[in-house]
Amino acid sequence: MSIFRTIRQLRRGRLPGQVVIQLTDRCNARCPQCGMRATNAFSRTTLDTAEVRRAIDAAARHGMAALSFTGGEPLLEMDRLVELITYAGRQGIPYIRTGTNGFAFCGKTAAERRQRITEVARRLANTPLRNFWISVDSAIPTVHEGMRGLKGVVEGIREAVPIFHEHGIYPAANLGINRNLNGAATSEVRPEDFRDRAAYLSAFRQAFDTGFRRFYAQVLDMGFTIANACYPMSVEPRTENLDAVYTATSEDRIVRFERDEKAVLFDTMRQVIPDYRPNLRIFTPLCSLLVLSRHYRGEAGVSYPCRGGLDFLFVEARGGKAFPCGYRGHDDFGPMGNLPALPDGPAACRECDWECFRDPSELGGPLMELLRHPWALFKRFRQDREFARTWFGDLRYYRSCGWFDGRRPPALERLHHHLHPDVPAPAAPARLPVRG
């Protein structure tokens, strides 16, 4: 996508568009944090190819820059996935993403595993796929496998990552933040065991600080070069304003956090990530974590409203209909393929923390303001220097990361130099110890 086109879009008050297409709600994993787990009985649906093609045509017609194929488990639809990624690329969509829970990397023998992994990597490498995510829920392999119900998946992922690298794909470890991040060390910190809330929150912070550190060290050790995080999606399936059409939500305790816990969680992550940025391309923007932690502390401050329903859309597996996102099921835009134009109007929604839409809104908001109302942005940044510094820091870091191009290896020297300009880069990629 050309920089001039992006600037024209920003001047018109639009961010580069993205659409998330839920190819299927079928899944073979058992994640307690997700309503699509295989053990949850409901009638499953898969979008037919013609419907998806129409949705892709509409996305291309409306100049959308990014398209994600999500599930359920997208690799259950491997043949169609390959075909549709190729089709989306031909329609001119530059940023195409998909991912997996890693089930295809499990196998009875090493030879069988290697053959299956190589086949997946080879087929995806022949498409214009830009980013590929693999889910990792916990720093502790047995906990992750227990949650997913996929025995041996961690060893499978460990084997898969270098094979993908050989094929020119650099997968991202995708953490769905939950209380099992560091096993019992995070899940068993309970308020009733502390004299008061402050003592509990302090222990909670300490536990998640260790958990995040252990997680990033673990995925580095598994060979990943990119990491991202999904914020806990514990929205109630039906609240006054939200009606989840994307069933990747759950009411399970492991993804339910109180507001003060969320404030600590986001703040802790913001403190930890900079230590791992020199070695790992971590997408999670610190500016988002900053405003989210402030929001849950009840503080006012800069926060850009979500572009869901304006520049970003979600297409559900059940009928190919477009929605503002996976959580505003009341706002049905009808079949994506028939969408005459992208919706217009002021952005105002801050109802949830869905990072797919909230993170790019937070990152892109100031850019749009810069081109449309530079004086307002200047005033905003003067009032909130911490946000301004953090946002500029994110952009500089993203540049050092090559804008997270999952078809290129990391430029570790550039990453290191970005963060420690006065210290020579280590001779070999650093591996941080996996701490208990």
Q: Which residues bind ligand SF4 (CB under 6 A)?
A: 27, 29, 31, 34, 36-37, 71-73, 101, 242, 248, 306, 308-309, 324-325, 327-328, 349-352, 354, 357-358
- The residue number whose beta carbon is nearest to ligand SF4 equals 308
Q: Tell me the HSE value of 297 on the side-chain side, using a 13 A CA sphere.
A: 15
Closest CA to 372 of 58, 3, 7: 7
Q: What's the closest the beta carbon of residue 266 comes to ligand SF4, in angstroms?
A: 15
Q: What's the closest the beta carbon of residue 421 comes to ligand SF4, in angstroms?
A: 36
> What amino acid occupies position 137?
D
Measured from the CB atom, the residue of 185 and 352 that comes closer to ligand SF4 is: 352
Q: Which two tokens stand for residue 299?
A: 């503080």
Rounded (5°) CA angle 317-320-323: 95
Residue whose token pair is 């929205």: 235
Measured from the CB atom, the residue of 73 and 267 that comes closer to ligand SF4 is: 73
Measured from the CB atom, the residue of 107 and 149 that comes closer to ligand SF4 is: 149
Query: Around Cβ 398, how many Cβ atoms within 10 Å?
Result: 16
Q: What's the closest the beta carbon of residue 34 comes to ligand SF4, in angstroms?
A: 3
Q: What's the closest the beta carbon of residue 60 comes to ligand SF4, in angstroms?
A: 23
Residue whose token pair is 């079949």: 335
Q: Provide long-range contacts, Cβ within 8 A and 24+ apart, for 75-79.
A: 75/100, 75/103, 75/104, 75/120, 76/24, 76/26, 76/27, 76/28, 77/23, 77/24, 77/46, 78/104, 78/120, 78/123
Measured from the CB atom, the residue of 93 and 235 that comes closer to ligand SF4 is: 235
Q: What's the closest the beta carbon of residue 218 comes to ligand SF4, in angstroms?
A: 19
* Crossing angle of the two packed helices 78-90 and 49-61, in degrees rounded to 10: 20
Measured from the CB atom, the residue of 260 and 351 that comes closer to ligand SF4 is: 351
Measured from the CB atom, the residue of 39 and 126 that comes closer to ligand SF4 is: 39
